[in-house]
């Protein structure tokens, strides 16, 4: 039975990011106290930058990430990890270079995998997630077209990690950072909707006016492939953390 995700509207993106950082910090410390790992699913884009800054600040105040294992949602294909727009670069410069996570605990889909190795690579990525016991908490952003990770409109809910084609809206939204839409990669590796729904807890962050309409649509009852974020209505433990602007069209 579909269940609408809860939503929390905060006074600012900073306040929403601090609330999620605090939830992550509690998870990581309680697992450490039990001698266990915490498995985080992580997102890129402009939205989670404040979250990562807050996690770095908590680390400087003593929070250790030595028991943390991470899996990133997605990565562009064919650009290589040294490309300034690769999600590998993004994650290292915003988070991993500043905390005490072990390099072997970081998993980001590899944008340089050869064509013939792709299928096997995606299967192995998914297997690694299962082997560590699944994702405890998945952080998500949302595209203006309702995508989550790179699960674009039309995505089915049954796919694990796979190769996907980027949608026009997504390519246009990335055009500025790549110096023109012609430079934006056309394909990506992404966790599938199935992978995301397998996480025990999901928190989706959305900030600003440009996300208000899609947030309203994603939280309207009814699951449709045209708005992949509506699949989160099938999850049961998803929360949207919004700022006032992104929550402006909700009742
Ligand atoms: C990209 C990422 C998504 C992200 C989305 C929104 O397409 N693959 O994971 O949620 O952009 O980005 P932003 O947070 O910059 O709006």
DSSP-derived letter for residue 169 is H
d(CA 17, CA 205): 8
Q: Is the pLDDT of residue 2 over 80?
A: no
DSSP per-residue string spanning 65-128: -TTEEEEESEEESSS-TTSTTSHHHHHHHHTGGGS---GGGEE---TT--GGGHHHHHHHHHHH
50-95 pLDDT, tens digit per residue, is 999 999 999 999 999 999 999 999 999 989 999 999 999 999 999 9
143-200 pLDDT, tens digit per residue, is 999 999 999 999 999 999 999 999 999 999 999 999 999 999 999 999 999 999 999 9
Q: Is the CB of 151 under 6 A from ligand 1?
A: no
35-46 pLDDT, tens digit per residue, is 999 999 999 999
Query: Could you state, in order of their start, the residue ranges of all structural domains in the chain?
Result: 6-217+232-241
Report pLDDT for 3: 74
Q: Is the pLDDT of residue 108 over 60?
A: yes
pTM above 0.85, yes or no: yes
Element of type H or E holding 139: strand 137-140
Indicate which residue of 18, 75, 126, 152 is catalytic.
152
Residue 48 alpha carbon, nearest atom of ligand 1: 14
DSSP-derived letter for residue 14 is H
Structure confidence at residue 22 as a pLDDT band (50, 70, 90): very high
User: What is the whole-number distance in angstroms between the Cα of residue 145 and the centre of ligand 1?
Assistant: 10
Tokens 């409109």 sit at which residue?
Answer: 153
Report pLDDT for 251: 79
d(CA 245, CA 12): 9
109-137 pLDDT, tens digit per residue, is 999 999 999 999 999 999 999 999 999 99
Residue 115: how many other CB atoms lie within 10 Å: 9
Tokens 């700022």 sit at which residue?
Answer: 243
**Segment 4-13 mean pLDDT:** 97
Report pLDDT for 77: 96
Report pLDDT for 1: 57
173 is catalytic: no
Q: Which positions ≥6 away from 92 have C-beta within 8 Å? A: none
152 is catalytic: yes
Report pLDDT for 93: 98
CATH class of the structural domain 6-217+232-241: alpha beta
Report pLDDT for 234: 97
């Amino acid at each position: 039975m579909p269940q609408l995700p809860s939503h929390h509207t905060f006074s600012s993106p900073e306040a929403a990011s601090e609330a999620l950082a605090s939830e992550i910090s509690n998870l990581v410390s309680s697992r450490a106290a039990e001698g266990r790992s915490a498995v985080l699913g992580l997102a890129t884009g402009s939205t989670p930058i404040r979250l990562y800054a807050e996690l770095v600040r908590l680390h400087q105040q003593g929070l250790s990430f030595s028991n943390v294992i991470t899996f990133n949602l997605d990565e562009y294909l064919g650009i290589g990890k040294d490309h300034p727009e690769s999600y590998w670069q993004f994650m290292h410069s915003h988070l991993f270079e500043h905390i005490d996570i072990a390099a072997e605990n970081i998993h980001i889909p590899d944008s340089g995998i050869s064509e013939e190795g792709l299928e096997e690579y995606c299967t192995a990525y998914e297997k690694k997630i299962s082997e560590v016991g699944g994702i405890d908490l998945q952080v998500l952003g949302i595209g203006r077209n309702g995508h989550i990770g790179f699960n674009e409109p039309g995505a089915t809910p049954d796919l694990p990690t796979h190769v996907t084609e980027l949608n026009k809206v997504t390519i246009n939204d990335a055009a500025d950072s790549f110096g023109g839409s012609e430079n934006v990669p056309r394909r990506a590796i992404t966790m599938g909707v199935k992978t995301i729904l397998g996480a025990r807890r999901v928190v989706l962050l959305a900030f600003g006016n440009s996300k208000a309409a899609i947030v309203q649509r994603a939280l309207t009852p009814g699951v449709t492939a045209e708005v992949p974020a509506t699949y989160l209505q099938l999850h049961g433990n998803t929360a949207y953390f919004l700022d006032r602007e992104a929550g402006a069209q909700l009742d």
